[in-house]
Amino acid sequence: MALQGDIVLESGTRHDFIDELLSVPGGERLKDCIQCGTCSGSCPVSYYMDHPPRKLFAMVRAGMREAVLDADSIWLCTSCYTCTLRCPKEIAVTDIIYALKRLAMKEGRVKGAERAMALASSFVDVVNHRGRNFEPELLIRYYGRTQPLNLLKKSGLGLKLLLRGRMPLRGESIKGRDQIRTIIEKSREIGGQ
Amino acid sequence: MRYAYYPGCSLEATGRAYDESSRAVAARLGLELEELPDWNCCGATTYMSVEETLAASISARNLCLAQRLGRDLVAPCSACFTVLRKTDHYLHDLPQVRSRVSSVLAAADLAYDPGSVRVLHLLEAFLENDVLERLREVPNPLKGLKVAPYYGCQIVRPAVDFDHAEFPTSLDRVVKALGATPVYYPVKTRCCGASQMASNEAAALRMCKNLLLSAQQNGADMLVTVCPLCQINLDAFQGAVNAKYGTRFKLPVLYFTQLMGLALGMPEKELGVGREIVDPRPLLRPYAARAAVAGVH
């Protein structure tokens, strides 16, 4: 996706966005980015992204909040941590991308990332009510929500897994579900990132 | 050595063979794995994308339980390992996160002293207990079997103490100790696509294709993994890779614990061998037969 805009000096850009991210654990070094491109070069999915990490961070720095939160890049991140490991300025790239996902999620910016977001929220739903992830339920919820036809297409593989004892029909739930409920309520009350 | 064992959610479903083989092999080698009572989901990479305080608190409940048990925590799943470890580091290093999470935990009658529970990957736990030494004379050495050790991401990144993050060798050493030949292939720490297999299948299939291709071109007969998500992507979606790229991969993907068990002469069934989509049994037949003849079962 092409980005267009007038050239502005850094002093003329909005700083509130980068300041927002500086409080993320590992985000305090964000301003040290030298735009070397090690992150984009190391990223296994950069070629799928509209804005690979190097560019994304330049955009953060330029205060382009909306364009960053709308980028499909943040939802393509697989959390492989290669960028974080290799960044010469020790910027916690992966953790910052998590923070961007949380902001995008909170603000309901779903365009182009419907599936990744649906997967995340289906996962959270399952864990919240069981205390554990029950994979068959997660897959049914997620595919049912986003690609019901694909659920049918995947049923062959599902059956193979079932026959090999890898798709149990009954899921486990933990005893401490009350504790999980309390944790959820209290966390939401306290807030944070 | 006795550990609190944290199987993680995948090991109750798609990764069942990993659970079976981990318990069986650990018992054989004298590592006591006591399942963490009433453990909950670590939050995986997914929960962190939604709410930070909540993700850290949910994950920390497991650390509280392990502390109560007074044992270090062993996770066979790379994602569980990274998330639980990261939670401990967050609580230890970041006072703001610690204070928020502590009050959340307190509301649920839980408490955790950061740094008091060590989180280890199962592979790390084996290495720490000198398993390599003890594997030198396995009853059923896997001579001639060419194995690509696949590390993937979260066992070595963002940072671990027990191996090199860019050029890890621990799994190669295990494969070698079992009598098999570890195959060098340059992408052994590249990503399998993880949960993108659900949300962006094209990207994940391409990543799996690259891994399988590199392993095969370097002469591997099969791969071993240290993570249930890597296993299912490479095994269950190998057919989809073949359909998309016109390849003919037929590379079995086992958990490293299954390979250990086979070399130790344990029966395939006890190790969950046979639960794979790409059947490894034809490849393993000579070794299984030898184990039966030698009577090591």
**Mean pLDDT for each 10-residue chunk of chain B (297 residues)?**
96 97 97 97 89 94 98 98 96 94 97 97 96 90 97 94 95 97 98 94 97 98 98 98 98 98 96 98 89 60
CATH architecture of A10-106: Orthogonal Bundle (1.10)
Per domain, the residue ranges of chain B are 2-123, 138-294
- Domain span(s) for CATH 1.10.1060.10 in chain A: 10-106
Peptide bond into B158 cis (omega under 30): yes
Assess contact for B40 and A181: CB atoms under 8 A.
Answer: no
- Encode pLDDT of B82-123 as tens digits: 999 999 999 999 999 999 999 999 999 999 999 999 999 999
- DSSP state for residue B214 in the 8-state scheme: H
Q: What is the pLDDT of residue A26?
A: 75
Q: Which residues pair with B222 in a beta bridge?
A: B147
Contacts of B13 in chain A (CB under 8 A): 134-136, 166-168
Which token pair is A3? 């980005």
Q: What is the pLDDT of residue A193?
A: 58
How far does A9 lie from chain B, in Å, by closest CA? 32
Q: Which CATH number among 3.40.50.300, 1.20.1050.140, 1.10.287.1120, 3.20.190.10 corresponds to the domain B2-123?
A: 1.20.1050.140
Contacts of B7 in chain A (CB under 8 A): none
How far does A192 lie from chain B, in Å, by closest CA? 6
- B98: closest chain A residue by CA: A192
Which token pair is A164? 């090999």
Count CB atoms within 10 A of the CB of residue A88.
10
- Nearest CB partner across the interface for A135, out of B9, B40, B190: B9
Assess contact for B233 and B264: CB atoms under 8 A.
Answer: no
Count CB atoms within 10 A of the CB of residue B129.
16
CB contact under 8 A, B275 and A164: yes
Count CB atoms within 10 A of the CB of residue A148.
9
Is 0.90 surpassed by the pTM of this model? yes
Task: Tell which A residues from 85 to 104 touch B, by Cβ distance under 8 Å.
Answer: 85, 92, 94, 98-99, 101-102
Among B16, B36, B38, B41, which would you mutate to test the A interface (most chain A Cβ atoms within 10 Å of its Cβ)? B41
- Encode pLDDT of A154-184 as tens digits: 899 999 999 999 999 999 899 999 999 999 9
Q: Is the pLDDT of residue A13 over 80?
A: no
CATH classification (class only), B138-294: alpha beta
Pairing status of strand B32-35 against strand B2-5: parallel
- Nearest CB partner across the interface for B108, out of A99, A127, A182: A182
